[in-house]
Amino acid sequence: MSSVEVPSYVPGHGLLAGRAAVVTAAAGTGIGGATARRFLEEGAHLVLGDAHERRLAQTVDALAGEFGADRVTGTPCDVTDEHQVAGLLDLAEARHGPLDVLVNNAGLGGTAELADMTDEQWHRVLETTLTGTFRCTRAALRRMRAHGRGGVVVNNASVAGWRAQRGQAHYAAAKAGVMALTRCAALEAADFHVRVNAVAPSLAAHPHLAKVTTPALLEELTAREAFGRAAEPWEVANVVVFLASDYSSYMTGETVSVSSRHP
């Protein structure tokens, strides 16, 4: 296999058959959208949340046409709003029964040197990426504890939580916080048989990637990947499926790097 060849897409194996799942920031063609598709291919019943209403409606319509409207729906959800988070989980349980899986994919980035960063830039990234993950996890754990069936939470972290990068102090701090939140939540949630893990992608291919980074930086980051390419979003989603499935039944509090990046 050449350094830039993408492997074949892996078909579903029913790993999440009958599970009731929620994925945040699931509209579009990024990791959230890929995770939604993979969950449906693995048999889950799904409710999607996203702050972008038009894009969410398009995503839900497309997936419902392919997998059935009885298996997938969505509702606008801004994870900075506790009432919208509650509404998302309420919809999931009303349609599909007790919540089995939550995927916290919502996050927000940006680029600013720390000396020039404003309070607004800092708080905006932290509020969505870290506090939003906390808010959704808290809501899910309360429900999972109440229904007593166990469950799974999978958080989207980032290798930025481990590795320094200029202009990313707010994003890196938020993602490092997601990793720490994952570990602490896992310890507490084990009391009621809920597992909490995270994935830490490096560079994932996305049509809008060029809008949030410079071509020179994108070229540099790609060159540092061992396979000489960015990950496909579905390659990250495959690891989310693994963490959500019974194949990871004895894993909790872990952050799994989905990366081929050199130090």
Q: Assess contact for 256 and 244: CB atoms under 8 A.
A: no
96 close to 20: Cβ distance less than 8 angstroms: yes
| Strand-pair partners of 255 | 198
Residues 211 and 192: their CA atoms lie apart, in Å, by 42
Q: Output phi, psi for 195, to 5 deg.
A: -100, 140
How far apart (Å, rounded) are the C-alpha atoms in residues 152 and 204?
Answer: 24
Answer whether 48's CB lies under 8 Å from 72's CB: yes
> Residue 91: enclosing H or E segment and its boundaries?
helix 82-96
Tell me whether residue 171 is one of the annotated catalytic residues.
yes
CB 197 within 8 A of CB 251: yes
Active-site residue identified among 9, 171, 247, 250? 171
- Cα–Cα distances (Å) from 158 to 25, 39, 171, in that order, read 16, 21, 9
Helices (H) and strands (E) in the chain, counts: 9, 7
Active site residues: 171
